[in-house]
Amino acid sequence: MLAVHEDRLAEAVARLGSENAFEILARARELEARGRRVVHMEIGEPDFDTPENVKKAAVDALYDNHTHYTPSSGLPSLRAAIASYASRFRRVAPEWGPENVVVSPGAKPVIWNTLSALLGPGDEFVYFDPAYPAYASCASYLQASVHAIPLLESRNWRMDLDELARRVSKRTKVVVINSPHNPTGGVLTKSDLECIAELAQRYDFLVLADEIYSRNFYLGSEYLSISSLPGMRERTIVVDGFSKAYAMTGWRLGYAIMPENLAKAATLFNNNTFSCVATFVQMAGIAALTGPDEPVQRMNEIFRARRDRLVKGLNAIPGMSCLLPEGAFYAFPNVSTITQDDRALAKFLLEEGGVACGGGSSFGAAGKGYLRFSYAASLEDIDWALDSIAKTLPKFKG
């Protein structure tokens, strides 16, 4: 068999990032296979079952032989359902149509394919730090000129807007925002969004708004999308999907909504890579959007209770301090008085304490000195994890 030596790999491979959470998950599973108890707080995956009506729709679709290719942009009926749901939920006028929607196997590939349709070598791309790793990985692969704006703990993990205003110019092509935010749970305010929208119009850049956690939102108010602000419908790419809201991570179903000409270009990348999403999975997506919303709301109430328990418990552990996340399902405690080597601490908590979590620096330099806990775990598991952290931490030699 031909061995693939490192020197055979394309140079561009070195520019790719990766999601460290998958590596921690693999190690956690190894420990479990050896009989160890592990509480999984490392990966962003709801632990709930997918709602019954969604599973039934997929099974029915299979038995009705919906097992063939669809258009690369997605089934027209799913694209229409997405356009209608997303316009109503975000209060966008005029409503988006199916021509604005690109369906993909999860939100992650549609981020890749949309950025591929937009960025070339040297194009200016602005995101934030800490961040979900996929944005910078893709932009670096495409040889864009990549700039990160720090998120500030002192602003409840929102962007340093002065720094953003200094950074963007007529050369900026795309700015990414992610609210609610992975890994901190921060939510941008109306005035943050208005400021970003004003800059977008002044300097003529596009905003890629990753809104995958828009249903995991704990403020009493309605969710606000930048796409609904005046002048922003035409310059926003909204990324969303089914993984987080409907506990469908393993189904692989997501989408983005964007101006029609860009949707056509992004679809060309779908066509060249995965061709289309599994048809019965797309049919399940229609059931999710048009069926009862109660399962989504119920999961969210449970997440809120877990958040409260986890954050209270983390703040009771000497050396840790954690803001109350306003969305998503992550807590991001500051552990900088314990160590600067957050990844070593995360490894220690897994190996010694059976608590799987992530090091903040896996999400960028500004995450150094923090840990990320996903609270997609039961209250009982959260209590066990908090107890184990409290007992294990004093043994850590930072």
Using CB under 6 A, list all residues that contact ligand PLP.
Answer: 44, 106-108, 132, 178, 182, 210, 212, 241, 243, 249, 254
Name the minimum Å distance from CB 364 to ligand PLP: 13
Q: What is the dihedral of CA 353, 355, 361, 367, to 10 degrees?
A: -110
Name the minimum Å distance from CB 110 to ligand PLP: 8
Are the C-beta atoms of 326 and 180 separated by less than 8 Å?
yes
Comparing CB distances to ligand PLP, the nearer of 21 and 346 is: 21
Comparing CB distances to ligand PLP, the nearer of 243 and 361 is: 243
Comparing CB distances to ligand PLP, the nearer of 303 and 348 is: 303
Name the minimum Å distance from CB 122 to ligand PLP: 25
Q: Report cis status (omega within 30 of 0) of the bond before 133.
A: no
Name the minimum Å distance from CB 32 to ligand PLP: 22
CA distance 94 to 87: 8
Comparing CB distances to ligand PLP, the nearer of 137 and 178 is: 178
Cα distances (angstroms) measured from residue 336 to each of 184, 329, 333, 398: 15, 22, 9, 10
- DSSP 8-state symbol, 217: B
Cα distances (angstroms) measured from residue 62 to each of 115, 282, 328: 33, 11, 32
**Strand bridging mode 101-104 / 254-257:** antiparallel
Comparing CB distances to ligand PLP, the nearer of 104 and 172 is: 104
Comparing CB distances to ligand PLP, the nearer of 212 and 386 is: 212
CA distance 375 to 302: 10
Nearest residue to ligand PLP on Cβ basis: 106
Name the minimum Å distance from CB 207 to ligand PLP: 15
Are the C-beta atoms of 86 and 103 separated by less than 8 Å?
no
Name the minimum Å distance from CB 18 to ligand PLP: 13
Tokens (6 digits) for 228: 């609904």
